[in-house]
């Protein structure tokens, strides 16, 4: 797949088939992703790939916990600033409107919104999941490195005909994830990522992007 096609076709898929993802494909993707850039070559990501029975067990534990209304685990990082300013607050609101509109859910239908949210912890039906950790002692530049690594993984997945959905929602049940993957204490969960083949029956609206001139300035002669 052409790199431009991979970038433009990559999106957060929220509906997967149960077709297994061959382990050799996941290994090929993650072997290539090792070459993602990182400052001073620290390679700050630590990845756990979960499939099969362990993933089914994790899905069951997480969805049951959320459905029972158990308190969230406290995130170990701040997801958004407490006061999200313009234009970011408008972009976030528009995303939420588009997301629930695609599902036919009204803004006021809180129960339907909750049901849609719970699908996160079922990996939207995906047969494979990746969990990305970072050492607690590392700083903001290393978090940027992790972002570049995850983008590299997602583009390589597209080259293999696969889709993905990065999910910071998993950090809200990080202790449940830790029960399954058993990370060392010095690691902090950043996000999960559902991986699989897109369900052709999934309803979605392609989220828009700001026009180029809103986010890019060319400085030249």
Task: Please check whether residue 187 is in contact with residue 136, taking contact to mean a CB–CB distance below 8 angstroms.
Answer: yes
**Which distant-in-sequence residues (6+ apart) come within 8 Å of 179 by Cβ?**
61
Q: Which two tokens stand for residue 214?
A: 């809103």
Q: What is the pLDDT of residues 118-138, one digit of tens each?
A: 888 999 999 999 999 999 999
Per-residue pLDDT of 20-38, as tens digits, reads 999 999 999 999 999 999 9
98 part of a folded domain: no
Domain assignment present for 103: no
Q: What does the mean pLDDT of the chain come to?
A: 91
The whole-number pLDDT of residue 95 equals 79
CATH number of 50's domain: 3.40.109.10
CB 24 within 8 A of CB 125: no
Residue 96 located in a structural domain: no
Prediction pTM value: 0.91
Would you say residue 110 lies in a domain?
Answer: no
Q: Is 100 within the bounds of a domain?
A: no
Task: Express as a percent the part of the chain with pLDDT over 70.
Answer: 92
Distance CA 163, CA 106 (A): 27
Q: Is 208 contained in some domain?
A: no
Number of domain units in the chain: 1
* Residue pointed to by tokens 């089914």: 56
By residue range, what is the domain housing residue 128?
3-78+120-202
Cβ 16 vs Cβ 199: under 8 Å: yes
169 located within any domain? yes
Does residue 100 register a pLDDT over 70? no
pLDDT tens for 38-49 read 999 999 999 999
* Predicted local distance difference test score (pLDDT) of residue 41: 97
Residue 87 lies in a domain: no
């Amino acid at each position: 797949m052409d790199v431009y096609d991979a970038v433009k076709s990559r999106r957060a898929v929220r509906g997967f088939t149960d077709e297994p993802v061959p382990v050799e494909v996941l290994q090929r993707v993650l072997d290539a992703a090792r070459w993602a850039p990182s400052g001073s070559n620290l390679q700050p990501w630590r990845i756990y790939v979960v499939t099969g029975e362990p993933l089914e067990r994790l899905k069951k534990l997480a969805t049951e916990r959320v459905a029972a209304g158990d308190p969230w685990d406290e995130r170990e990082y701040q997801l958004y600033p407490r006061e999200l300013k313009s234009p970011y607050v408008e972009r976030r609101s528009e995303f939420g409107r588009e997301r629930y509109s695609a599902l036919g859910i009204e803004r006021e239908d809180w129960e339907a919104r909750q049901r849609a949210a719970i699908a996160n912890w079922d990996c939207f039906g995906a047969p494979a999941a990746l969990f990305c950790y970072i050492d607690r002692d590392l700083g903001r530049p290393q978090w940027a490195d992790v972002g570049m690594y995850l983008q590299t993984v997602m583009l390589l997945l597209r080259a293999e005909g696969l889709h993905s959905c990065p999910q910071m929602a998993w950090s809200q049940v990080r202790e449940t994830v830790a029960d399954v993957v058993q990370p060392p204490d010095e690691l902090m969960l950043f996000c999960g990522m559902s991986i699989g083949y897109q369900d052709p029956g999934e309803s979605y609206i392609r989220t828009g992007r700001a026009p180029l001139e809103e986010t890019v300035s060319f400085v030249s002669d």
